């Protein structure tokens, strides 16, 4: 596999996948580069949404497709924002800033700050692949009381890592890839690809 389409238009995810797949010589194209619209994500699970996105991108492009569905799950909010993480504060337009503000508002009186990022990666060799390669990863931390750091994207300025004493948004990209939910899922995916 020399080329695949990423079933996402998220520039942060694109940078991460290009970085992780470059050593394998796999060129990652975005669906936007190929004129493919974003797929609907009507499902309540990360796996179902990833499958819908990958099938759509592969069918439209004729290429293998890699989809990621990920989000942050907060214990005090019964797992929310979950699959709605990217559009938690609405999607007209989607906004990391507004999502973070909404999460901070909802957490203002919560003592339990536990949260985890979850990622599922799903690779289809073609649109009708009956056996997609599925890889999952989790990254545990806490929701901070205020934003800090300028790296990463999404909820990274709020994702406190007690073991490191830093926010996710304060990590260098290489360090983040080593420990993040997406990095963990990508290592599982790459291992499955090599087998």
**194, burial (CB in 10 Å: exposed 0-12, middle 13-18, buried 19+):** exposed
Catalytic residue, from 69, 112, 126, 156: name it.
69
Positive or negative torsion for Cα 42, 10, 129, 21: negative
Parallel/antiparallel/unpaired status of strands 133-143 and 159-161: antiparallel
Strand partners, 69: 120
Query: How is residue 150 written in tokens?
Result: 């300028």
139, 94, 133, 42 alpha-carbon torsion, rounded to 10°:
120
Among this protein's residues, is 68 annotated catalytic? Answer: no
What φ, ψ does residue 52 adopt, rounded to 5°? -60, -40
Q: 182, 68 in Cβ contact below 8 A?
A: yes
What φ, ψ does residue 85 adopt, rounded to 5°? -55, -45
- Annotated catalytic residues are 69
């Amino acid at each position: 596999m020399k080329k695949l389409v990423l079933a996402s238009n998220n520039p942060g995810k694109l940078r991460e996948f290009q970085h992780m797949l470059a050593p394998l010589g796999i060129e990652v194209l975005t669906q936007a580069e190929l004129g493919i619209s974003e797929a609907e994500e009507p499902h309540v699970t990360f796996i179902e949404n990833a499958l819908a996105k990958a099938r759509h991108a592969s069918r439209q492009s004729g290429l293998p497709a890699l989809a990621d569905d990920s989000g942050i799950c907060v214990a005090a909010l019964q797992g929310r924002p979950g699959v709605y993480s990217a559009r938690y504060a609405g999607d007209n337009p989607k906004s990391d800033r507004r999502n973070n503000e909404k999460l901070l508002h909802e957490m203002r009186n919560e003592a339990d700050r536990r949260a985890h990022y979850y990622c599922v990666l799903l690779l289809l060799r073609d649109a009708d692949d009956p056996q997609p390669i599925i890889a999952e990863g989790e990254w545990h931390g806490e929701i901070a009381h205020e934003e800090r750091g300028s790296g990463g994207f999404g909820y990274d300025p709020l994702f406190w890592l007690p073991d490191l004493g830093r926010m996710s948004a304060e990590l260098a990209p290489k360090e983040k890839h080593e420990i993040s939910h997406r990095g963990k899922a990508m290592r599982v995916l790459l291992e499955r690809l090599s087998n």
